[in-house]
Amino acid sequence: MREADETTRQRLADALRSEPATPSELAAAFDLTPNAVLRHVEHVSRTIDGRDDEQFLVAPPECQDCGFADFDDLLNRPSRCPSCKSESIAEPTFTIDD
């Protein structure tokens, strides 16, 4: 099972090197659940952070009603906005940059 996880993580990292993506987009592309994608992406981010030649970048989730984007956990999509209580939250977007 561990080898399959590493393969999935490598494929996710390769996809993020080519273009930015949200958890839902990655889930659809790799036949995973968005929660599984978030677990894998968290591990990929730790791996990338140890390298000098690449950066793992996150565009944070954002409330589509009031624009609030100062969420505590950038890797997860909150259920509602703490500012206006709206449930219309855009997903975070991930990318790996050289």
Please give the pLDDT value at position 1.
Answer: 45
pLDDT tens per residue across span 33-76: 999 999 999 999 998 887 778 999 999 999 999 999 998 888 88
Over range 16-23, report the average pLDDT: 96
pLDDT value at residue 72: 87
Q: Does residue 20 surpass a pLDDT of 70?
A: yes
Residues 6+ apart with CB under 8 A from 29: 15, 21
Q: Please determine, for residue 17, whether its predicted confidence score (pLDDT) is greater than 80.
A: yes
Look up residue 21 and give its DSSP letter: B
Which string of DSSP letters, residue by residue, matches 65-96?
A: TT-----S-TTS--SS-TTT----EEPPEEEE
Nearest CA to 27 out of 37, 14, 39, 18 is that of 37
Residue scoring higher pLDDT (4 or 17): 17
Model pTM score: 0.84
Integer angstrom CA distances of residue 17 from 13, 54, 55: 6, 9, 10
Domain tally, the chain: 1
Tell me which residue range forms the domain holding 58: 2-97
CATH number at residue 92: 1.10.10
